[in-house]
Amino acid sequence: MFFKNNKEPHEVFTPRQSKVNPNMYVARPDLEARLRQSLTGTQHVIVHGESGTGKSWLYKKVLADMQAVVLPINLANASRFGGIAAEMKNALERLGTATQTGYSETKSSEMTAVLATGGLEHEKTFALGTKEPFEACCAHLRKEAGKHPACIVFDNLETIFESDEMMNELANLIVLLDDERYSEYRIKMLIVGVPTGVRDYFNRTRNRATVANRLQEIPEVSRLSQSQTAELVKKGFVQELAYDVQSDVLSRVTEHVAWVSDRIPQRIHEYCLEIAQLAQERDKLVGVDLLEVADAHWLSRSLSNTYSVIENLMNERDTKIGRRNQVLFCLGRVEGDEIRLSEIEALVRTEFSRTTENKTLDISTLLSRLAQGDDGVAPVLRRSPKGDTYQFADPMFRMCIRAMLIKDSERQVVSKRSISTIAAGGAV
Ligand SMILES: Nc1ncnc2c1ncn2[C@@H]1O[C@H](COP(=O)(O)OP(=O)(O)O)[C@@H](O)[C@H]1O
Ligand SMILES: [Mg+2]
């Protein structure tokens, strides 16, 4: 017997796959430990992080390792179906348990009653056929889990912000789990969403002190570390695809991937998928020469909206200096999330020393324009509440700028990598 590796790029690099691929999963020991601890504690848990940072893979991995039984509730569906209870019903039906466990819609007002009166008489025995969806879920989960942990995951919290009704519905469920009747099921809730979402959630929930008391946050799920990024790239190309890649090439490819993707897991997969598909076409040979084409493919396939925003912001090609282009380029060089005026000014002066010598640069005006957004174009920056720093309005802008803008050191001007050449099959 011999081992034949015939995995396809899209089976290895899976930017949008919700199911965890254990072969590609990069361990995140700190976050995993925090999540595990929180899940074994007495409070319910919040996981927050920007889109694509790996929240879903993280909780799925940790819960699977704990042998927990999980009921995923997609709050995006709750918005479509008009309520969390409705989505719980769907979730139960998907599990094919509705008939076994049973629930009755007429009882669903009971939940509100419990909260209003501060408790309901505890019924020692209740008929299986009369549970409202939430209790039916709890009962089902506990039955399935036996001695193992049982968890309801509410993912995509941000999708219900606009609805006070659903926000309160969720808050009510959290409080309800303390009620004797529900607490015996020992169900953990895990709430997952983007950071602004989570903050808003606390601010907008009616009984926020009560709810906040019952919730614990783990640290923000954010970009991978350099070494985790390297591990991911190596797993993909070497271990899973068994491509032909020299070690010095691998480190240069990794460095570039880390830079353009901002080390966001989803973006790393996306970008590596581009490289892998290009390499596949030429005998699985990975080379540094593929990066330029990969940049263009990635920009056009995954960042095209962002690309056009930046494109619209750029000075016309023939302005002499193109100060705004220089500033955009330098925004991409900033490593941290906070962008300081002084840092940008210093960067512009070093990167473009000749065109800035003995000149006053009105960087402050340029930055505040980028934070205002022009003529229906989305703002690229967001000013901090204190007003002294900026952040990218969306992390995608940074990635896009990094992959898109090219500095001509000779002429000290910045130009864009064109994505229109791709259709013709050419490099850029
Ligand atoms: N720990 C990880 N190791 C390897 N790849 C990951 C990891 N976490 C996430 N990914 C990749 O990133 C993609 C997006 O992750 P996901 O968990 O769906 O992000 P989020 O839920 O934060 O939007 C996944 O489909 C997967 O390809
Ligand atoms: Mg997710």
Q: What is the phi/psi pair of residue 112, to 5°?
A: -65, -40
Query: CA–CA separation, 100 vs 122, rounded Å?
Result: 23
pLDDT recorded at residue 3: 53
CA–centroid distance, 14 to ligand 1, in Å, is 9
Which ligand 1 atom is the nearest neighbour of the CA of 60? 17
pLDDT in tens, 362-410: 999 999 999 998 767 789 999 998 888 999 999 999 999 999 999 999 9
Show the DSSP H helices in 177-246 as ranges: 180-183, 195-204, 208-213, 226-234
Bridge partners, 188 (sequence order): 151
CA of 150 to the centre of ligand 2 (A): 19
Which residue among 57, 156, 227, 257 is best mutated to probe the pocket of ligand 1, counting the most ligand atoms within 8 A of its Cβ?
57
Among the bound ligands, the one closest to the CA of 50:
1
Which residue CA neighbors atom 7 of ligand 1 most closely?
Answer: 54
Roughly how many angstroms between the first and final C-alpha of the chain, as a whole number? 44
Q: Does domain 308-416 have CATH number 1.10.10?
A: yes
Ligand 2 mean position, distance from CA 19 (Å) = 10
Angle at 319 between CA 388 and CA 356, to 5 degrees: 50
Fold of 29-217: Rossmann fold (3.40.50)
Residue among 264, 361, 256, 209 at smallest CA distance from 55: 264
| Prediction pTM value | 0.87
Q: CA 68 to CA 62: how far, in whole Å?
A: 9
* pLDDT tens-digit profile, the chain (428 residues): 455 568 999 999 999 999 999 999 999 999 999 999 999 999 999 999 999 999 999 999 999 999 999 999 999 999 888 899 999 988 888 876 544 444 443 343 444 333 433 333 333 333 344 578 899 999 999 999 999 999 999 999 988 888 888 988 998 999 999 899 899 999 999 999 988 766 666 666 667 778 888 999 999 999 999 999 999 999 999 999 999 999 999 999 999 999 999 999 999 999 999 999 999 999 999 999 999 999 999 999 999 999 999 998 997 755 667 999 999 999 999 998 899 999 999 999 999 999 999 999 999 999 999 999 876 778 999 999 888 899 999 999 999 999 999 999 999 999 999 886 554 444 43
CA distances from 171 to 160, 385, 386, 387, 397 (A): 12, 28, 31, 33, 34
- Measured from the Cα of 13, ligand 1's closest atom is 27
